[in-house]
Amino acid sequence: MKNWIRKQFRRKSRVYIFPTRMGGYLNGLIFLMFLLAIGYSNNLLLIFTIFLFGFNLLWLIQTHFHLYRLRIEQVTISAGHASTSVSVNISWKAVPKGPWNWQIQLESDHGDFLLNGINDSEGKSEGDIIPEKRGLYQWRHLKIKTSNPFGLYQVWIYFPLGHTSLVYPSLLNSVDLVLSGKDFEGEILQDKKGVDDFRGLSSYTNDESRKISWKHYARTGLLFIKEGEEKKAPILELELNIPSQLEFKEQYLSYMATKMVECNKREIPFSLRVNGISSAQLQDCLKVLTLC
């Protein structure tokens, strides 16, 4: 029942207003003054009470106007690793005049996340969240809360979202990379620098264009190909073998993710084999680890 009521209140972009502590004190004072003015038939106190109530009503209306026209143009939630910062970018339409001083919260099936380090510019808000668990996140609502412009009432609004994003396994501080010497296509990289950093040249006979020596073509106008060796590039071969013990699963996935990210940083080729199928794209491999 509680979840159903919550869903009904957040189904549309409605504006909700509630007094802050100071606003509660003000409303209590107005009510007390009204009782005293009626009880003692004090017209002067009654006029002052009505005057103060009118200002209070104007402040309430202005607080409502601060957010009621606001709309989301675009929300971008980047993919990232668990326990690290994930960037969030929001573009707005019909933005009220600043300062905004908003509290922005993202609600998902994995919990609620308050946007940290908010940097507001004209029509945009940027910040980050720190999800603690890996997985596919279904982002349901974006909540904005503020007590602007007068601090007497707090106003908030929910925007329904239909976004999803991936949170990859968390990364370890360091891992050991055990590389094999498997053949990797391409010419060998020599220590010698210069135009003759290969064994020799031969005439071009419709060979692969990547072997053409363009430096010699620029000097002579003739097409030659480089005769090099097939290089032995270090390569990291990984195979996904998830342990049966659940308590070791997350640590194992973090270990595998850290290896792949480290290889990508060092520009070391790697491959991940899952059920007999290999993949060498970092994003695809991290997605496999996230959803397994």
Instruction: Sketch the domain layout of the chain as residue ranges.
Output: 1-168, 190-231, 236-291
Residue 180, pLDDT score: 55
Architecture of domain 1-168: Sandwich (2.60)
The beta strands (E) that lie in 36-168 are given as 71-77, 80-81, 86-93, 103-108, 111-114, 116-121, 124-129, 135-146, 153-168
Residue 186, pLDDT score: 34
Q: What is the pLDDT along the chain (292 residues), one digit of tens a residue?
A: 656 555 555 655 678 899 999 999 999 999 999 999 999 989 999 999 999 999 999 999 888 888 888 889 999 999 999 999 999 999 998 888 777 788 999 999 999 999 998 888 878 999 999 999 999 999 999 999 998 878 899 999 999 898 999 999 999 887 777 665 443 333 333 333 444 444 566 655 665 555 666 666 566 766 666 665 444 556 778 888 888 777 789 999 999 999 889 888 888 888 888 877 777 788 889 999 999 8
User: Which two tokens mark 271?
Assistant: 């491959």
Using an 8 Å Cβ cutoff, are 188 and 228 in contact? yes
Residue 230, pLDDT score: 46
Q: What is the pTM of this model?
A: 0.70
Q: Which of 74, 67, 68, 59 is nearest to 100 (CA)?
A: 67
**How far is CA 45 from each of CA 22, 35, 51, 59, rounded to the nearest angstrom?**
21, 10, 10, 21
Residue 231, pLDDT score: 47
Q: What is d(CA 38, CA 67) in angstroms, rounded to the nearest whole number?
A: 36
- Mapped to the 3 state alphabet, what secondary structure does 107-120 carry? EECCEEEECEEEEE
